Amino acid sequence: MAADTGTAVCVGDRLGTTDAYAAGEGVYERDGYLLAAVVGRQRVEQPEGGGVKPVLHVTPRGALPLVPKPGDVVTVKISRVAQTNTNALIMCVGRQALSTEFKGVIRQQDVRATEIDRVVMYDCFRPGDIVRAEVVSLGDARSYYLSTAKNELGVVYARSAASGEA
């Protein structure tokens, strides 16, 4: 658990303890240990003031992949509509397309800001619709929680139910 500057580390490597160091960029804390959140090189930043813990950082190797985070506006394609939620595939974060596939869920309470109890998911979304949504949270282990409860969010592209095409 030495804090050598420039040491190569992988995701999940123990870098030190929270008693000795503070977490910086590319580092997270779990059970009293500081762990690397990215693959890269470890460095220690000594604070200016006395009595403050040194800060551990991990500088990523190469460019980080784009991953949705809470507050991001994403473009999704609806894959399945159920009575209480809608499943979607996240295609873009902002205006940038993703290289990997992420799943999202729009829950009934996150469709609109008012009259939440009157939302009928089948009337709001259909499979194949393209929707702008905001990432609310990381959700469960399988998918992000999304919301369309703002005026600038919602269905961007949809086909008519009468067209007979999907």
CATH of the domain at 25: 2.40.50.100
pLDDT at residue number 63:
64
pLDDT band at 134 (very low <50, low <70, confident <90, very high): very high
pLDDT at residue number 2:
43
Return d(Cα 159, Cα 14) in angstroms, integer.
Answer: 51
pLDDT at residue number 161:
74
pLDDT at residue number 66:
81
For residue 41, pLDDT beyond 50:
yes
Where does residue 43 fall: left (phi above 0), alpha (psi -120 to 50 degrees), or beta otherwise?
A: beta
Q: Are residues 104 and 151 in the same domain?
A: yes
Give the CATH number, domain containing residue 91.
2.40.50.140
- 73-89: pLDDT as tens digits: 999 999 999 999 999 99
Average pLDDT rounded to a whole number, residues 9-24: 90
**Total number of domains constituting the chain:** 2
Q: Are residues 50 and 88 in the same domain?
A: no
- Is 2 contained in some domain? no
- Is 68 contained in some domain? no
Express the helix, strand and coil content of the chain in percent, nearest 5 each. Answer: 10, 45, 45
Give every CB contact of residue 44 below 8 A, 6+ residues apart in sequence. Answer: 3, 5, 21, 54, 55, 56, 57
Average pLDDT rounded to a whole number, residues 105-120: 91
Beta strands in the chain (DSSP E): 7-9, 14-17, 22-23, 27-30, 33-36, 40-45, 55-60, 73-81, 85-93, 96-107, 130-137, 144-147, 154-157
Average pLDDT rounded to a whole number, residues 24-47: 89
pLDDT band at 46 (very low <50, low <70, confident <90, very high): confident
**Of the residues 60, 85, 105, the one at which a domain ends:** 60
For the chain, percent of residues with pLDDT exceeding 70: 91
The domain of 20 spans 7-60
CB atoms within 10 A of CB 132: 17
